[in-house]
Amino acid sequence: MPNPSLADLDAGTSGQQQQNNDNDPNKGQGAAAGAGTGAQDEPGKTAADLEAARQQQVDADAAKAEADAAAAKAAADANKGGDADEEPEGTIWDEVDALRGEKLEVKWEDEQGVIPEEEWDTPRGVIARERALESRAIQRFEESIMERDPRGYQYLLHREAGGTDEDFFAKKTITLPAYDTFKENVDLQVSVYAASLRNAGVGEKQIKQLTETAVKDKEIFELADAAYKKQEADETRSIQELNAQLERDKQQYERNVQSLNKTLTEYVASKDMAIVVPEAKREEFLNFVRRNIQYDQGTGRFLFAQPIDVKQLPRQLEALFLQFSGGNINGLVVREAQSANTRRLRRSIERSKEVQRTQADTSRTRKTLGEL
């Protein structure tokens, strides 16, 4: 008998399996289970093949479920505001402001110009932010003085505006105590009311009578409170006027600075100067000029001011003489030319003398034919 082929072996196995199924008391249940797995639809498949196919389907279903879950999560993240891996907007200073609890307004500029946002966390940006902090600290200090001591703040503004002590203290005023203390203290009320009468030109004897009558009639608080609030309003108005004046002075100063810078730049490049400043040196020269300019707040004028340096004194005097002479350098150029001509002429004369002297010596040593 020839050896069975692979198909024969499979057929034999299938026949044996069929016989076993016929003898199995649970034949109906097995058939039903086979129908559930698709065994009846795929004749010729072994149990191992069917189990492998079933496991492959289970793995495919699991992979699909995992992919669906990942897609759903990505969609949920997108609905919440985009990719979770995206870097948050803003800079490190935004985080600092958040921790501080208030935003600092910074003018991102310096002597080199505007500071780009990518350089805000570099030394340039840090210095600009420190300047903003210093400016805000000064502003808050002034606001604190204005609240705690309006008269003192008024004096600071008066001095900053160019006022004198004599003018400030010549004005009659009242030193106001804290209002909460004032309204509970009769002596302070008497003092404030008396000071208001004194500033109005009332004599001391009459002041005493008026204050005593006010205390006796229980009208002292009403009269003193009116004087207190009038003085408070006068100080507030004076502070507002001084601040407005300082703001006007500041704006005028800035306009003057811009005008001066424009004028300097134009003149350095113009033909009005007898000296030509090389274009490559103009900005450096302008910076040198600016360092030697001061602003006179009293007159509102700019002045040239330069410290005297012994080592540079000859050059400084030369510059002053050039200014003294009205910028006329022709005399200096002519004098230099004359000096050069004089030296050249002197050298020509010396050479001429030397030639003559040589010729004279030679003639004295010559012998005539008769002398020989």
pLDDT tens string 11-36: 454 445 444 444 444 444 444 444 44
* For the chain, percent of residues with pLDDT exceeding 90: 19
Q: Do 119 and 183 share a domain, yes or no?
A: no
Q: Is residue 68 part of a domain?
A: no
What whole-number distance in Å separates Cα of residue 142 and Cα of residue 30?
Answer: 97
The predicted structure's pLDDT at residue 333: 54
Q: Do 180 and 247 share a domain, yes or no?
A: yes
User: Given a cut of 50, is residue 362 above it in pLDDT?
Assistant: no
- 152: confidence class by pLDDT, cuts 50, 70, 90: confident
Model-level pTM greater than 0.95?
A: no
The predicted structure's pLDDT at residue 350: 65
Average pLDDT along the chain: 77
Residue 60 vs residue 362, higher pLDDT: 60
Residues of the chain by 3-state class (helix, strand, coil), percent to 5:
70, 5, 25
- 342: confidence class by pLDDT, cuts 50, 70, 90: low
User: Given a cut of 50, is residue 127 above it in pLDDT?
Assistant: yes
Q: Is residue 266 part of a domain?
A: no
User: Token pair of 74, please?
Assistant: 């990505």
The mean per-residue pLDDT over the stretch 299-307 comes to: 85
Q: Do 136 and 193 share a domain, yes or no?
A: no
Q: Do 195 and 250 share a domain, yes or no?
A: yes
| 114 phi, psi to nearest 5 deg | -70, 140
Q: Do 137 and 176 share a domain, yes or no?
A: no
User: Given a cut of 90, is residue 329 above it in pLDDT?
Assistant: no
The mean per-residue pLDDT over the stretch 288-304 comes to: 86
Helix/strand/coil for 371: coil
- 352: confidence class by pLDDT, cuts 50, 70, 90: low
- 7: confidence class by pLDDT, cuts 50, 70, 90: very low
The mean per-residue pLDDT over the stretch 324-332 comes to: 70
Q: Is residue 102 part of a domain?
A: yes
User: Token pair of 251, please?
Assistant: 């704006």
Q: Per residue in 198-239, pLDDT tens?
A: 999 999 999 999 999 999 999 999 999 999 999 999 988 988
> Which of 259, 281, 316 is the C-terminal boundary of a domain?
259
The predicted structure's pLDDT at residue 36: 42
Lowest mean pLDDT among 262-271, 303-312, 333-342: 333-342
The predicted structure's pLDDT at residue 341: 61
- 316: confidence class by pLDDT, cuts 50, 70, 90: confident
Q: Is residue 288 part of a domain?
A: no
The predicted structure's pLDDT at residue 216: 94
User: Given a cut of 80, is residue 179 above it in pLDDT?
Assistant: yes
Q: Do 131 and 191 share a domain, yes or no?
A: no
- 93: confidence class by pLDDT, cuts 50, 70, 90: confident
The predicted structure's pLDDT at residue 354: 57
- Rg (C-alpha) for the chain, rounded Å, is 52
Q: Is residue 249 part of a domain?
A: yes
Q: Is residue 130 part of a domain?
A: yes
Cα 266 from chain centroid (whole Å): 29
Task: Tell me the residue type at 206.
Answer: Q
The mean per-residue pLDDT over the stretch 319-338 comes to: 68
Q: Is residue 357 part of a domain?
A: no
Domain span at 236:
172-259
Q: Per residue in 59-89, pLDDT tens?
A: 787 778 777 777 777 776 666 554 444 445 6
Q: Is residue 220 part of a domain?
A: yes
What whole-number distance in Å separates Cα of residue 19 and Cα of residue 22?
Answer: 5
The predicted structure's pLDDT at residue 40: 46
Cα 241 from chain centroid (whole Å): 30
The predicted structure's pLDDT at residue 28: 43
Residue with tokens 């030109």: 201
Q: Are 89 and 96 in contact (CB under 8 A)?
A: no
- Count of domains in the chain? 3
* For the chain, percent of residues with pLDDT exceeding 70: 72
